[in-house]
Every structure is written in C-alpha cells, then in structure tokens.
C-alpha cells in the first residue's frame, strides 16, 4: 500500500471532543457547540483533520448524552441546529470534518418511541423495544446484569412487562429485529449525512443483536450474569451491519468507526476492510490490559510492557493487509492515559510524551482525546457523591456488595472513573481554567494553573509542543502514514520499539516505559535521531521515560 492511494481519513488525525466539558460560551457551566467553533484554530494548529463529537442530541443526560431522546435535533444546552451548521461550515473552511456519535443500541426512556412503546402491548411501537413477561414469581425474565450494574431488566407498570437495557434503566435497548426500527435509525444517520458530516463513531454496536433464546447466563458472585458475556457480538449481528452500511455509509466519502469491545483481532476481517462493515473498529484489548477477565474495577491485574506490546501488535497484524486501525489511548470512558499506563508517582509530562510518540507514529489513524495533548491527569474526589459518572456509581455499589470498605472502593473509583476524562478543558490559569464563567458542571482539575493550553503554548518543552513536533514529523514522512509496522525488541520489558517502513525508508520509534536508564541495542545506536523528548540525548541510552524517533 502506498500513501497515495490512502483515503483522507487514513492520513488524518482525529480529535475527540466531549462538548459538555470543552468550552462554555454562555456561562451556563456546560460546554456548547459555539465553544467548539471558537477553538477550531487551536485544533487546526494541532494538525487535526476531523473532530468526533460525543452526542449533542437532546438528552436527559442520565449518561451524558448517550441517552438520546431525539436523534435529529441538537440539545438546547449545546445550542441550536444553526450553531451546528455554523460549526460544520467553519470547520470546513479549515479542512476539518465533523464526525457524529450514533447511539443506536438504545435510546433514552424519554424518547417518544419508548413513551409510545410502553403504553400497552398493542400500540404501533409496541415491539420497538425488547419486552418480556416476568417469571411466574414476578422476577425478571433472566439473570442478566446491565453494564452499569444491577438487573438489565426494569419492570413497567403500564405494560405489566419488563424491558431490557444493556446499560442504565433509562437507556432501553431498541429492537433491531424490527425492520421499522432499523429504518428509523438509518434515516436519522442519513439526516446527519445531509448536513455534511464527515463520518460516524458508532456506539456500543456489539450489543444490538440479542440471542434467539433468552436464558440465564452463568452467574457471578452477585447472582447475575453480565449482558456483555451473554450477548456481545452475537452471531447474526453482521447481517444488521451490512444493511446499515448499504443503506447509510455506501457511496459517501466518510469514515466509520465502531465501538466494539469483544471483537477479537482474528475476527476483525469480518468487521473492517474489503468485506467488513466499518472502516475502523475501536478495540479494547490495550486499554483493558489490566482487565483480561471483565471490567470489575476492583480486580485489576498486574500487566507487563510485553503484554501491551503484544496486544497492540496483534491488532496491527490483523489490519496490516486489509482494514485500518484507529490508535487511541484515551476516550471519555477511560482514565487519563498517563495514570492508566504508568505507576503512581511517574512524571506525567514525560509519560504523556512517551504515549504521544507511539500514538503519532503507529500505523493507523490517531485519535487524540481532549486534554490528552496537554498531558491531563486523573482527579481524586473524596466522596462518591462528587462523581457524576453513572458507571462509577454502579461499580462502587458492586464493590460494597463484594465487601470492600468505602475508602477502598473510592480508591478504585479514583483510578478508573470515567469522570477522570470528563473534567473541563484547561485553557488557561484564569477562573475555571477559562472553561466557563459560571459554575462548571464537573469540577476543574486542581492542576489547571500549571497544566493548560495557554502556558503550554509558550513552553517549547511542553506536552503540547511535543505533539506538534510529532504531527509535523508525521506530515513529512509518508512511511509514518502508509508504512508497514514491525515490532522490535519484542521481549524487552522497558523499551517499546517498532519500525515503520515504506519504499526503502524506515523510521524507528523507541520509548522507555521505565523509570530507569536503559541501554539501547547496537542497531539503534548508529541511526540518526530525528526527534527526542529529552534534551542532550545520549545515543547509547534512553533516560527514564525518554521517547526517541530514529531514521534508518
């Protein structure tokens, strides 16, 4: 593959925006679309070619917009459809596309489709959601547990039936078996295509297909079986997705990236590439490296650098000939990467540079999450009530049920809460980090006086400027875009190194994940250093958390 025949989205950099936390222009304490428009030049300077906006549709905000009550409108908290059209137009002027988040596994329980569906068993939308009778003793139809904890079934008095929700009870699952439901969802996606969006991120897509027979799964200690284990990626799902592709994606110069926790590298060929349904798939194997057996926050396992290199390399191999890989270390569901991948006490500026070097030189499309380019870190609030994230509350309850003390459970919330990623953007050292003149919906990270865009702009050694150097390097080296990936030093527990080669040109990324000096093997020493995160680089060694790009 040469860089010339790659599509625009294979050569670009995507920036994920959590609009609620990006920039408030009204003083409401909540970010808005005009706030995104206001910072387009910042993103252009970072080399961004597409923005993935997490949901901005009307929503009761039980799960911060992932509970949608109208698929073809803008939530008034974020602005108006005009503001959206203005954002598309202003982004377009700067060569930036806007990518929408499609949440099609479930809607909000306040969506008019659900309001209708729950009225009785005979209305027009009666089977738009997944309804079942209670067991003879009145208990839920199966022992399934929702992803945020508790039964995946909620009783509805009006209909005298239970409805299924893979996530919160306010997020009832849509019934994809019903062709009218599928068509309504495809129509909504086409609505946004007409507005000129550049692509879609497709949320929680592995859950849309349910098993033919609803029966109990093997229970965990709480007596429930996770819906993830019971029906993620159920056979038959690809038929739905091929229809989705034919009726929405085909014929448009857009990209699609599906969120697919549980699709294994060997299955990727059915999902992406020539015979696949999406252009890219977000896998979880690297971000869940400490959770090989499911995501119970109090059961993280010890992992080694070689484990991380292995899972990343498997995904690289699976998409080497066919398909394409979205590289990411952060999103709105994960802790900040500098805390997630490095032990407590690590210099987070150095850690951020290490991860950036991988992110921007790996094969695939890099996805930067807001604040990652500034080296944002986790927060630690002193009570569970301070947390907004519904997932944190579910995990906290589960931990208490399993006998953990409040303070122990809170430690795991500190480490894994999704709110870590959702604190307001830190633009400056002014009030509320320049995010809002009102009271921010979520507290600003206390470190905003020293970690913010304005300060990093002026510091040539900042994380932000390291990102810019890497972006420039990427733009100037076709091998970093289309070149083959090869893992080097596979057994080394300190250094993550790989090469990228195209038409006889090779660049090598070598980063030190450890807090010790490490000697580089001889064949790294005679190469030219193109970029280094440390001043006064010694060609023979890597200092703790040093990141280096070599040529040759």
Residues interacting with ligand GLC, by CB under 6 A?
Answer: 63, 66, 103, 167, 203-204, 259, 332-333
Smallest gap from residue 166 Cβ to ligand GLC (A):
8
Smallest gap from residue 63 Cβ to ligand GLC (A):
5
Distance CA 392, CA 376 (A): 20
DSSP 486: E
Positive or negative, the Cα torsion across 76, 81, 84, 90? Answer: negative
Q: Which two tokens stand for residue 222?
A: 């709480």
Residues 6+ apart with CB under 8 A from 518: 494, 495, 512, 541, 542
Residues 6+ apart with CB under 8 A from 40: 90, 91, 94, 96
Q: Which is nearer to ligand GLC, 59 or 142 (CB)?
A: 59
Q: Count CA atoms within 13 Å of residue 395 on its CB side.
A: 24
Residues 6+ apart with CB under 8 A from 11: 3, 49, 481
Smallest gap from residue 101 Cβ to ligand GLC (A):
8
Which of these is catalytic: 203, 279, 314, 419? 203
Distance CA 6, CA 91 (A): 22
Q: Which is nearer to ligand GLC, 204 or 413 (CB)?
A: 204
Smallest gap from residue 183 Cβ to ligand GLC (A):
21
Residues 6+ apart with CB under 8 A from 460: none
Q: Which is nearer to ligand GLC, 148 or 513 (CB)?
A: 148
Distance CA 371, CA 379 (A): 13
Smallest gap from residue 107 Cβ to ligand GLC (A):
10
Residues 6+ apart with CB under 8 A from 316: 325, 362, 363, 364, 485, 487
Smallest gap from residue 285 Cβ to ligand GLC (A):
16
Backbone torsions φ then ψ of 97, nearest 5 degrees? -100, 155
Ranges of H-type helices in 386-477: 390-401, 406-416, 419-422, 453-458, 463-476
Q: Which is nearer to ligand GLC, 335 or 483 (CB)?
A: 335
| Tally of CB atoms within 10 A around 458 | 9
Report the run of H or E that residue 226 belongs to, with start and end.
strand 225-226
Q: Is 347 a catalytic site residue?
A: no
Q: Is 532 a catalytic site residue?
A: no
Distance CA 234, CA 323 (A): 21
Which residue number has the CB closest to ligand GLC?
Answer: 66
Q: Which two tokens stand for residue 118?
A: 């729950």
Report the run of H or E that residue 255 belongs to, with start and end.
strand 255-259
Q: Which two tokens stand for residue 159?
A: 């209909």
Q: Which is nearer to ligand GLC, 232 or 511 (CB)?
A: 232
Read out DSSP for 368-392?
A: EETTGGGT------SSGGG---HHH
Smallest gap from residue 254 Cβ to ligand GLC (A):
20
Chain position carrying tokens 């030189």: 361
Q: Which is nearer to ligand GLC, 333 or 546 (CB)?
A: 333
Q: Which is nearer to ligand GLC, 205 or 520 (CB)?
A: 205
Three-state SS for 22? coil
Contact by Cβ (8 Å): 166, 230: no
Residues 6+ apart with CB under 8 A from 300: 290, 291, 412, 415, 416
Residues recorded for the chain: 552
Q: Which is nearer to ligand GLC, 108 or 445 (CB)?
A: 108
Closest CA to 368 of 335, 329, 333: 329
Smallest gap from residue 89 Cβ to ligand GLC (A):
28
Q: Which is nearer to ligand GLC, 192 or 524 (CB)?
A: 192
**Exposure string (b/e) for 71-110, b if CB count within 10 Å is 16 or more?**
beebbebbbeeebbeebbebbeeeebbbbbbbbbbbbbbb
Smallest gap from residue 171 Cβ to ligand GLC (A):
6
| Tally of CB atoms within 10 A around 286 | 18
Smallest gap from residue 331 Cβ to ligand GLC (A):
7
Which of these is catalytic: 32, 173, 259, 456? 259
Smallest gap from residue 82 Cβ to ligand GLC (A):
27
Distance CA 65, CA 59 (A): 5
Backbone torsions φ then ψ of 269, nearest 5 degrees? -65, -20
Q: Which residues have a catalytic role annotated? A: 203, 259
């Amino acid at each position: 593959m040469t860089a010339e025949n790659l599509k625009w989205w294979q050569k670009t950099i995507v920036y994920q925006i959590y609009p609620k936390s990006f920039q408030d222009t009204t003083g409401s304490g909540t970010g808005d679309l005009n706030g995104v428009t206001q910072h387009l030049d910042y993103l252009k300077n970072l080399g961004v070619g597409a923005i993935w906006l997490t949901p901005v549709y009307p929503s009761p905000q039980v799960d911060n917009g992932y509970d949608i009550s109208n698929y073809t409108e803008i939530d008034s908290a974020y602005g108006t459809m005009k503001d959206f059209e203005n954002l598309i137009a202003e982004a377009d002027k700067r060569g930036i596309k806007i990518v929408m988040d499609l949440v099609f596994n479930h809607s909000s329980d306040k969506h008019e489709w659900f309001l209708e569906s729950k009225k009785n068993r005979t209305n027009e939308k009666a089977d738009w959601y997944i309804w079942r009778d209670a067991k003879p003793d009145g208990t839920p139809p199966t022992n399934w547990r929702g992803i945020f904890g508790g039964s995946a079934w909620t009783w509805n008095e009006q209909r005298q039936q239970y409805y299924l929700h893979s996530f919160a009870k306010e997020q009832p699952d849509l019934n994809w078996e019903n062709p009218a439901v599928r068509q309504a969802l495809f129509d909504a996606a086409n609505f946004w295509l007409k507005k000129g969006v550049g692509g879609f991120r497709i949320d929680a897509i592995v859950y849309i297909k349910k098993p033919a027979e609803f029966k109990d799964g093997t229970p965990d200690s709480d007596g429930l079986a996770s819906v993830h284990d019971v029906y993620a990626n159920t056979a038959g799902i690809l038929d739905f997705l091929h229809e989705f592709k034919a009726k929405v994606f085909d014929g448009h110069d857009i990209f699609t990236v599906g969120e697919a926790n549980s699709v294994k590298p060997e299955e990727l060929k059915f999902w992406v590439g020539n015979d696949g349904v999406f252009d890219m798939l977000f896998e979880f194997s690297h971000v869940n490296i400490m959770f090989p057996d499911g995501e119970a926050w109090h059961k993280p396992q010890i992992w080694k650098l070689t484990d991380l290199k292995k899972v990343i390399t498997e995904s690289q191999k699976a998409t080497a000939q066919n398909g394409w890989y979205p590289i990411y270390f952060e999103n709105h569901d994960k802790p900040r990467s500098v805390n997630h991948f490095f032990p407590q006490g690590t210099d987070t500026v150095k850690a951020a540079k290490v991860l950036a070097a991988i992110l921007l030189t790996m094969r695939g499309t890099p996805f930067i999450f807001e604040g990652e380019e500034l080296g944002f870190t986790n927060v630690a609030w002193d009570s569970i009530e301070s947390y907004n994230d519904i997932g944190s509350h579910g995990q906290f309850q589960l931990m208490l049920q399993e006998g953990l003390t409040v303070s122990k459970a809170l430690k795991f919330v500190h480490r894994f809460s999704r709110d870590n990623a959702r604190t307001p953007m830190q633009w400056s050292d002014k009030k509320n980090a320049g995010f809002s003149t009102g009271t921010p919906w979520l507290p600003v990270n206390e470190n905003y006086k020293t970690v913010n865009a304005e300060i990093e702009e002026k510091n040539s050694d900042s994380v932000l400027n390291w990102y810019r150097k890497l972006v420039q390097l990427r733009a100037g080296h076709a091998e970093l875009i289309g070149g083959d990936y090869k893992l080097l030093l596979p057994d080394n527990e300190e250094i993550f190194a790989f090469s990228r080669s195209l038409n006889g040109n090779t660049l090598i990324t070598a980063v030190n994940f450890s807090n010790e000096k490490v000697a580089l093997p001889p064949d790294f020493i005679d190469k030219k250093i193109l970029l280094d995160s440390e001043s006064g680089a010694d060609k023979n060694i890597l200092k703790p958390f040093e990141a280096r790009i070599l040529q040759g």
